Structure 1
Amino acid sequence: MKVLYHHRTQGRRVEGVHIRGVANALRELGCEVRVISFPGADPEAEPAMASGPATTTESTAPAAPAGDEKGRLATLVSRLPGVLFEFAEIGYNLVTWWRIRAEIARNRPDFIYERYSLFLFMTVWLARRRGIPIILEINDSAVVQRLRPLWLKPLARRIEAWCLTQATGIVFISTYFRELLASHYGQLPPSVVSPNAVDARFDPQRYDRDALRRRHGLEGRVVCGHMGVFARWHGVPGFVETIIDRLQEAPALTLLVVGDGADLPAVRREVQARGLEDRIRLPGRVPHHQIPEWVACMDYAFLPDSNEYGSPMKLFELMAMGVAVVAPDYEPVAEVIESGATGWLFPRKDLEACVDQVIALCDRAEERQRVGAAARAYIERERRWRNNAEQLLSLLPRESRA
């Protein structure tokens, strides 16, 4: 089965992990997958190191590696102010028309899979015109709060409503997201809910935990970890501010916070000023392929905040390594974590409750191990990329699956 996978993301951060995961899983199921990216971008070539902070709502601006001419142009486009940026997004439909039309003529796919982006309608239009099934994966929407203000919101919603209702099928990252969009746009095509997933690298059996802990000076510690962006909307700075005066309650506890972002320098200064560099480890950003090695050092983890519709990739990567997570009780998170069984939920936005749970678990080694093992079993059973690929294929018309 031939699959044309189209997207308009940077493909260099978490979106690249997702693209690689789904594309490779489809190939494992016997599909021939052709990925069409913005000219110059290559999400299938995993970067050694990403630069710059990520965001809660993905950047869907046409983008590519900064050293390339097309990459520099894309960077300039992404920096356009307000409505000009959105006009550039609309204009990208012409590029899409040219490239998808040529690809269909050269090697007609059995279906098209598109990672939906705001204002991008041309792929759906071409698929409908050529009689090709098209499945949309929804990670962003004009009806949710975004970090970058949406100036042409009425137009974005009209385009989105048309795309969603014209698709053959839809993949949502959470039930909340599906219900939200159905409430705005009415009856939608057949859909599935596919939270994020992980690949085979996230397997604790592949790593020497004791050796890694010695390498990073963490032997003999109880390590509670986090990986992600230091930004207010992810809650890491607030968590550190909240726990910093309570570390004396758990003398064995060490926090390992992997990642960077706009707020990292301020957090680092505060940690240094308090003389807590040994209790709060801040290694900075690491390449994605090294993430499992750092997770292998953790006994459990914390996720201070998320949003109402998202499916945090880090949640699945931690759980796959047998590291259970203290996480906020947003519906998409609660869809993955059964509190007390595969993780621990706390009331969203309540950082005191999050810190209480983290400190309490420091002395509960048996509970951490039991819940971590159950978390890993859940991921192995339901949240490998193959599960996502099988779900999306189920949306195709029966004759297309023959």
Structure 2
Amino acid sequence: MDEKLSKLVERVLYHHRTQGKAVEGVHIRGITDALRADGVEVDIISLPGADPYASPKTMSPTRQATPLMKLVARFPEPLFELTELAYNAVAAWRVWRHLSSKGRVDFIYERYSLFMFAVVWLAKLKKIPMILEVNDSAMVERVRPLYFLRMAKAIEGWTFRNAAGLVFVSSVFRDRIQAAHGTIAPAIITPNAANIDKFTSTPEQRAAARAKWKLDGKVVCGYLGAFLPWHAIDKFVFEIADQLKARPDLVLLLVGDGSTFPEVSEFVRKRGLQDQVILAGRVAHDDVPGLLAAMDMAILPSAGDYTSPMKLFEFMACGIAPVAPNFLPIREVLKEGVTGWTFTPGRLDEAVSMVLSKSVDTQALHQVGVAARAYIAAERQWRHNVVQLVEFVMKLSGR
């Protein structure tokens, strides 16, 4: 599709109930900015106080955006879920009022949240195509196990059947949802993305970044993301620690923070690895490309078996060779030995061996990084995602 998207759609309403921070904020801005760049008007209705363009981009994934969110997050699970359910009334009123004042939109795009059904119901009532982007589900394991699980499943099943269309980040996630709920709305698979122009650095920027972090003459393996148990960066550091002394040319540059950060920091201090394990902490998203410029390869120690890790795309967009777990969603976007390498999920000893062996050949790292960046440029920028989305809506509408 070479023509401007605005020739096909003029106005889109994007609704979400997330806090609009960290990865979810990056995704919301990616879709919205790509549509706007093609002349499409996009109105965003966010959780009050959680505008993805206003919320702190550096906010920790575990930190709440507003005092009200902090309060709600402390609710006992049953009350927390009932609050989520009650938000349907708020969402329905806000979306109805917006549609009444702004006029008809070509379609509504919503980032799905548990217990949310009101906007799908309202869209059906007003005969507006409703597309749900599905990143979560009652069918997946949760940090906070669901108390009203049966109700969540029932609402989710109705929502997935009554939306005009669904967008999943991976085929395995779509198949899992379809197996659980039976009939669902038509669906497309759209992995995450990254814009090349936001992840482009000059040789001078790379030299400056490496000088700042004292990385000259080193092979740098980076990590960018949250320090949380399910991301396993702490376990990766523990696993590789004993072998770093034998590889003085190899340095880990770890960017981010979270609940396991203090433990990793103390471990590095006790082992005397401060020169080989550099903990950059949490930085603004706009500062990320500068840190990425210093890296030669990157490690993604763990990921959900159905997710599409945003950081994988950002590594690849920067021309950084990634090492990632061999889950199907990752295999859908990473070509083994060409745009990156994979290891058996959960086998961090394999991940360590992969990093140690691949870091020896800097020419191969460069070649894989170049190929990874070329793939993102050709197939996985945010405009590719919105073109697929608009084509999907046109097909559903019979246009």
Q: TM-score range by the shorter chain?
A: over 0.9
Amino acid at match of 2:31: V
Corresponding position of 2:12? 3
Amino acid at match of 2:45: I
Match of 2:87, SS?
helix
Corresponding position of 1:58? none
Q: Which moved more, 1:138-147 or 1:249-258?
A: 249-258
Aligned with 1:322 (options 311, 315, 319): 319
Do the aligned partners of 1:347 and 1:353 also contact (CA within 8 Å) in 2? Answer: yes
Relative to 1, partners in 2 of residues 1:212 and 1:197: Cα closer, same or farther, differing over 3 Å?
same
Relative to 1, partners in 2 of residues 1:46 and 1:322: Cα closer, same or farther, differing over 3 Å?
farther
Match of 1:136, SS?
strand
Q: CA offsets per residue over residues 176-206 of structure 1, 9 Å max, x none? A: 1111111112232222111111132112348
* CA positional deviation for 1:208: 1.9
Aligned with 2:201 (options 200, 204, 207): 204
Q: Given the alignment of the two structures, is residue 103 of structure 1 paired with residue 98 of structure 2, yes or no?
A: yes
Corresponding position of 2:302? 305
Relative to 1, partners in 2 of residues 1:246 and 1:391: Cα closer, same or farther, differing over 3 Å?
same
Corresponding position of 2:140? 144
Corresponding position of 2:86? 91
Q: CA offsets per residue over residues 54-83 of structure 1, 9 Å max, x none? A: 7xxxxxxxx6x4xxxxx2122211221111
| TM-score (structure 1 length as normaliser) | 0.93
Q: CA offsets per residue over residues 69-108 of structure 1, 9 Å max, x none? A: xx21222112211111000000000101110111111122
| Whole-Å separation in 1 of the counterparts to 2:30 and 2:57 | 17
Amino acid at match of 1:76: L
Do the aligned partners of 2:49 and 2:55 also contact (CA within 8 Å) in 1? Answer: no
Corresponding position of 2:3? none
Q: CA offsets per residue over residues 5-62 of structure 1, 9 Å max, x none? A: 00000002110110000001111222110000012221023625314547xxxxxxxx
| Whole-Å separation in 1 of the counterparts to 2:333 and 2:321 | 11
Relative to 1, partners in 2 of residues 1:46 and 1:390: Cα closer, same or farther, differing over 3 Å?
farther
Corresponding position of 1:218? 215
Do the aligned partners of 1:174 and 1:310 also contact (CA within 8 Å) in 2? Answer: yes
Q: Which moved more, 1:283-292 or 1:178-187?
A: 178-187
Corresponding position of 1:158? 154
Corresponding position of 2:74? 79
Corresponding position of 1:24? 33
* CA positional deviation for 1:266: 1.0
| Whole-Å separation in 2 of the counterparts to 1:10 and 1:48 | 11
Do the aligned partners of 1:223 and 1:299 also contact (CA within 8 Å) in 2? Answer: yes
Corresponding position of 1:60? none
Do the aligned partners of 1:252 and 1:362 also contact (CA within 8 Å) in 2? Answer: no
Do the aligned partners of 1:207 and 1:296 also contact (CA within 8 Å) in 2? Answer: no
* CA positional deviation for 1:394: 1.6
Q: Which moved more, 1:185-194 or 1:331-340?
A: 185-194
Amino acid at match of 1:332: P
Q: Given the alignment of the two structures, is residue 243 of structure 1 paired with residue 233 of structure 2, yes or no?
A: no
Do the aligned partners of 1:53 and 1:260 also contact (CA within 8 Å) in 2? Answer: no
Relative to 1, partners in 2 of residues 1:348 and 1:52: Cα closer, same or farther, differing over 3 Å?
closer
Amino acid at match of 1:183: A
Gaps of 5+ in 1: 55-62, 66-70
Q: Given the alignment of the two structures, is residue 189 of structure 1 paired with residue 198 of structure 2, yes or no?
A: no
Q: Given the alignment of the two structures, is residue 353 of structure 1 paired with residue 350 of structure 2, yes or no?
A: yes
Amino acid at match of 1:74: M
Amino acid at match of 1:192: I
Match of 1:208, SS?
helix
Relative to 1, partners in 2 of residues 1:180 and 1:303: Cα closer, same or farther, differing over 3 Å?
same
Amino acid at match of 1:161: G
Do the aligned partners of 1:250 and 1:362 also contact (CA within 8 Å) in 2? Answer: no
Q: CA offsets per residue over residues 232-256 of structure 1, 9 Å max, x none? A: 2111111111000011332210000
Corresponding position of 2:58? 49
Aligned residues: 388
Q: CA offsets per residue over residues 201-226 of structure 1, 9 Å max, x none? A: 11234862112211221111110000
Aligned with 2:22 (options 13, 18, 26): 13
RMSD: 1.6
Relative to 1, partners in 2 of residues 1:211 and 1:195: Cα closer, same or farther, differing over 3 Å?
same
Q: Given the alignment of the two structures, is residue 125 of structure 1 paired with residue 121 of structure 2, yes or no?
A: yes
Aligned with 1:393 (options 385, 390, 394): 390
Amino acid at match of 2:209: L
Q: Given the alignment of the two structures, is residue 274 of structure 1 paired with residue 295 of structure 2, yes or no?
A: no
| TM-score (structure 2 length as normaliser) | 0.94
Aligned with 2:260 (options 260, 263, 281): 263
Do the aligned partners of 1:114 and 1:136 also contact (CA within 8 Å) in 2? Answer: yes
Corresponding position of 1:174? 170
* CA positional deviation for 1:363: 1.1
Relative to 1, partners in 2 of residues 1:309 and 1:223: Cα closer, same or farther, differing over 3 Å?
same
Relative to 1, partners in 2 of residues 1:51 and 1:361: Cα closer, same or farther, differing over 3 Å?
same
Structure-to-structure mapping, 1:328-339, within 5 angstroms:
328-339=325-336
Do the aligned partners of 1:329 and 1:347 also contact (CA within 8 Å) in 2? Answer: yes
Gaps of 5+ in 2: 1-9
Do the aligned partners of 2:164 and 2:396 also contact (CA within 8 Å) in 1? Answer: no
Dislocated runs of 4+, deviation >6 Å: none
